[in-house]
Amino acid sequence: AYDPRSKKKLTLLMEPQALVEVCGGIFSPYLDPNRRKDLARVAADALVLIFPGGDRPFELLLPWSGSKHEVSTATISRDEVKVSHRSSAERVVQRSGKLFRCALRITGHELVVSVYSHVVSSVTGDTQLIFNFYSPKVSEATECALTENDQIARIGRPVLKFPEGTIRAAVIRRLCRFFKADIVQDVSDDSKSLLVDLLPPKKDFISDYQDMQRLPGEEVAVRPV
């Protein structure tokens, strides 16, 4: 950064963990070496410019879970104050393959859930789902990837096999019940982090119905009527 008035130059070094968190997680498409310009835009948009006042020069800070400084996520304009409910990566460049986006309550926490489809292999056609969880309360985001086998074990078949529209949205909401969210505070400072875990599949009416379809063979004398 350069201030023409004071002729001060400032260089900010970003840690790899901070850059991964800011761009949306380890599955972010902006980590592709061919999209370095988009990654630079995402990182620049996440920076916060602070004027301490007095004779102290300006400062550049990067708000992330490992930061030692408490910064605000509010963007101040002339006549209003707006608080962003999107991560920096979503504000700069729209990620392709979006299937779902809605504010949901995950184990008592209000989160913005975005779901994207990601092609793992163009040869086999395998596709996984990327769940992006963003907490406006602590300005933290995390991601979780679900393979097709993970989806089948919990809802019976892959999400992309369901028709688009309200049916697919309802299926994704049902799939979100298998996530557990928690906001933990770092013992070393006052920063908070968002943690989301995928719960194991459990028995429900879908699995019971599938068990009923597995009829015994001809060698079994007693069959259900």
The four Cα atoms 98, 99, 101, 102 give a dihedral, to 10 degrees, of: 180
Residues of the chain with pLDDT > 90, as a percent, come to: 21
User: What's the pLDDT band for 76 if we cut at 50, 70, 90?
Assistant: very low
DSSP-derived secondary structure letter, 154: H
What would you report as the CA-atom Rg of the chain, rounded to the nearest whole angstrom? Answer: 23
Residue scoring higher pLDDT (189 or 162): 162
Q: What is the pLDDT of residues 106-136, one digit of tens each?
A: 998 989 898 999 888 777 778 899 998 988 8
Residue 145 has pLDDT above 60, yes or no: yes
Residues of the chain with pLDDT > 70, as a percent, come to: 73
Average pLDDT over residues 51-63: 73
DSSP-derived secondary structure letter, 198: E
CA distance 6 to 101: 44
- How high does pLDDT run on average in the chain? 76
Distances (CA, A) of 50 to 25, 60, 136: 26, 6, 21
pLDDT at 175: 94
User: What's the pLDDT band for 72 if we cut at 50, 70, 90?
Assistant: very low
Q: What is the pLDDT of residues 8-52, one digit of tens each?
A: 788 888 888 888 877 777 777 778 888 888 888 888 887 877 776
